[in-house]
Structure 1
Amino acid sequence: MPDTAICPDAIDVVYTWVDDTFPGYADQLGQYAATGHDRNPNRTRDNLEILRFSLRSLERFAPFVRKVHLLTCRPQVPGWLDTEHPDVVVHHHDAVMDPAILPTFNSFAIVSHLAKLPGVSERFLYCEDDMLFLNDARLADFLSRDGRAKIFAKARLAPVHSQLKADTETPWNLALATANVALDREFSPHRRRFLAHGPRLIERAVFEEMCDRFPAEIAATRTARFRTGDNVPPEYLYPHYLLETGRAVLADATDSRRMTGYASLENFLPWTWYQLLRLDRQRPVTATLNDSFNKAPNPRVVAHVRNTLRGWFPQPSRFERADATLPG
């Protein structure tokens, strides 16, 4: 087990979050969006309030959490969140990002600023707002026995530019390939693996070191209002940077399955029902519920997911307002 100097008893958790139904957001997005990728609602929708259930899961299964930091665009704040609670800190983009690059709708740009959040613990967990804890978690689960970070990866190899068609490929895959070009330049060229969906353990100083190591790529990422192919996803670049510099180890397949689960929430009810049932039976430590509804979520699927979340986490967390109600 890592000693307490390497693995402190409590750390913070950082979430990124957005709600595209917040007044004014859609109009602002429309002023800047140019492509279908820019308008993709899968990345901005909050119809399930998964963040709310994520905080319930955090309180139930992750006792090592100290404070929750939420990074979002001004003036957005979840209506149910108790912003007066001492364990809740809300940061808006303009607190840590250059006004010249705002507003931004680029999650890569936002994530690249996580280590700049004032008051966040030196080592913290980054969770996207669709990630949950489904089983007892310890900080040591994210660390090897010598205190290095564990990287949970898939068997599949991430793409390289020679495999992609720039005019038809998604910005995500192009950005992965761009990150691999940057890593090849700084380290030995080789193929790298996709990472499993799940929280990322981040050390602030090392994250900033990574940003300094790839100044051109980080600058291109931060100044892009939407994801583009010359961006790099920090949530992919950082774990591989740790591996390349010897600060992390790859977890084996068994450990990755124990720690990370995934469900694609789709409009075909039997498929979504099956994936949630599988997660309920397997109970990995963490699970990601990825919005794949596209433009029109199926109301029956939405109702089923909401009921599942309520069944998993019926008790409000300390992070919720006492007078906040769940949507019907």
Structure 2
Amino acid sequence: MFIAIIYIYFDLPQQFKQASVQHYFISSNDGLSSPSLINPNNTVTLKLQRYNVSSYVDSICPEGIDVVWLWVNGSDPGFRKEFEKNGKKGGEGRYRDYNTLQYSIRSVYNFAPFIKHYFIVTMGQTPSFLNTSQFKWNEYTIRIVDHKEIFPNIKDLPVFNSNSLEVSLHNIKNLSSCFLYLNDDMLLGKELKPEHFINSNGKLKVYHNSWKAPDTNRMVKNIWHRSVGNSNELINKHFGKIKTIKHPYVSHHCYFFKRDILKQMEDTWPEQYKETRRHKFREGNDLAIPFMHGAFVVESDQGFYVKESNYYYGSFTSSRRSNTKLMNNIQKKQPQCICINDALEKSSLAVIHKETAILNSFLETYYPYPSPFEKYIQFN
């Protein structure tokens, strides 16, 4: 068992100046379960934040902007039983919960106050840090969405494939017409405004990296790259493009989706959607929804590509030096969006415990102020 006492003494952005917080105690028996306040007398005071969006953002997103996370606790015995029952072993890195969801939620609450409604898509699980008796605070709400709610045919369940879930996100009940989509290892590094995704002409900005599809070398080696390459071919065929036209990979960070576009995509490729939903694990002919949404937006003249800037993607490994460099880079650069990939797959349990404890201490320092949905938090 480890106990870390973290004191926060650094300057914060202006929007946090009115908040006050006492020290936190992080306690865990295995180093993997979510840290939480173990002193229920600790109190956080945080005023309701306001943000006025531009009129052109309102015209594109009249219902506001929500946020959706995919999350799973791969260490849960029930999950492991279903996972192995369906013919798989291993995969701990892809499904391990190492507490980043708690800080991802904090990052949205503190850095994107215009987002009021939170949805966590999961397989019958609830994150341990959530206060299940407080899923609403002022204008803010959070809701656990079971896979059964978003799958048209529940016989396709269970699935352990993020591609299968991403083709179903637009089926979430009461989800707004625009939403931010995050994996549980994606966080905001500084203040985010909706204008980051929408320009003054109402066009969507589609952020991309330097890779382009199809990348035949990567497709040979990796299922995910094959799905991107195959998705690129579908886009080209639908929009009357040459088969080999390359579209850039969208940035693997914070995705901005429009629900009506996702629905239009399913209407365009209904059979491919059905097939992807049936895939319990990743397959090369899966639809790659973030990539396809971006390409669809651009090809239908609803947006344009923008080279990513001040986004940060890093892998957390068994190397203390590498992990220290990653955390220092985040602290120094304060990226707009962050993705911390779990690359501890082949590490010993002892190393995983130590490195994730260090990561959690860093995240607790970077995101000291909790969301209103955490246990032991009382808001005024």
For normalisation by structure 2, the TM-score amounts to: 0.78
- The percent of aligned pairs where both chains have the same amino acid is 24
Q: Does 1:51 align with 2:101?
A: yes
Question: Counterpart of 1:77?
Answer: 126
Question: Counterpart of 2:297?
Answer: 242
Question: Counterpart of 2:234?
Answer: 182
Q: Does 1:318 align with 2:369?
A: no
Q: Deviations over 1:126-168 (max 9, x none)?
A: 1111111111111111112212211111122233458643xxx
Q: Is the 8 A contact 2:63 2:177 kept in 1?
A: no
Question: Counterpart of 2:317?
Answer: 266
Q: Is the 8 A contact 1:7 1:140 kept in 2?
A: no
Q: Is the 8 A contact 2:212 2:248 kept in 1?
A: yes
Q: Does 1:16 align with 2:80?
A: no
Question: What letter is aligned with 1:91?
Answer: V
Question: What letter is aligned with 1:79?
Answer: S
SS of the residue 1:145 aligns to? coil
Question: Counterpart of 1:173?
Answer: 225
Distance 1:85 1:232 in 2: 33
- CA gap 1:77/1:202 in 2 versus in 1, 3 angstroms: same
Q: Is the 8 A contact 2:63 2:176 kept in 1?
A: no
Q: Is the 8 A contact 2:316 2:343 kept in 1?
A: yes
Corresponding residue to 2:197 among 120, 127, 142: 142
Distance 1:164 1:115 in 2: 28
Q: Is the 8 A contact 1:269 1:300 kept in 2?
A: no
Q: Is the 8 A contact 1:218 1:232 kept in 2?
A: yes
Question: What letter is aligned with 2:96?
Answer: R
Unaligned runs of 5+ in 2: 1-53
Q: Deviations over 1:48-98 (max 9, x none)?
A: 210001111111111111110111012x11111133322011110011212
For normalisation by structure 1, the TM-score amounts to: 0.89
Q: Deviations over 1:171-192 (max 9, x none)?
A: 2111111111211211213011
- The Cα of 1:243 is off from its aligned counterpart by 1.1
For these two proteins, the number of residue pairs brought into alignment is 312
Question: Counterpart of 1:120?
Answer: 175
1:187-198 pair list within 5 angstroms: 187=239, 188-189=241-242, 190-198=245-253
Distance 2:211 2:184 in 1: 25
Q: Deviations over 1:199-257 (max 9, x none)?
A: 11111111110111122322221111110011111122111111111111111x3xx21
Distance 2:290 2:61 in 1: 21
- The Cα of 1:9 is off from its aligned counterpart by 8.2
Q: Is the 8 A contact 1:70 1:90 kept in 2?
A: yes
SS of the residue 1:304 aligns to? helix
Q: Is the 8 A contact 2:150 2:168 kept in 1?
A: yes
Q: Is the 8 A contact 1:115 1:207 kept in 2?
A: yes
Q: Is the 8 A contact 1:12 1:67 kept in 2?
A: yes
| Structural RMSD (CA) | 1.9
Corresponding residue to 1:199 among 254, 262, 282: 254
Looking at CA atoms only, which structure, 1 or 2, has the larger radius of gyration? 2
Distance 1:247 1:222 in 2: 27
Q: Is the 8 A contact 1:144 1:249 kept in 2?
A: no
Question: Counterpart of 2:343?
Answer: 292
Distance 1:156 1:233 in 2: 15
Q: Is the 8 A contact 1:62 1:138 kept in 2?
A: yes
1:34-113 pair list within 5 angstroms: 34=88, 39-46=90-97, 48-74=98-124, 76-83=125-132, 84-86=134-136, 87-97=141-151, 98-113=153-168
Distance 1:261 1:320 in 2: 27
- The Cα of 1:193 is off from its aligned counterpart by 1.2
SS of the residue 1:257 aligns to? coil
Q: Deviations over 1:251-297 (max 9, x none)?
A: 1x3xx213x22111111111121122112111111111111111436
Question: Counterpart of 2:39?
Answer: none
Question: Counterpart of 2:31?
Answer: none
- The Cα of 1:41 is off from its aligned counterpart by 1.7
Distance 2:182 2:304 in 1: 20
Question: What letter is aligned with 2:117?
Answer: K
278-287 vs 298-307, which moves further:
298-307
Unaligned runs of 5+ in 1: none
SS of the residue 1:137 aligns to? coil
Question: What letter is aligned with 1:171?
Answer: I
207-216 vs 155-164, which moves further:
155-164
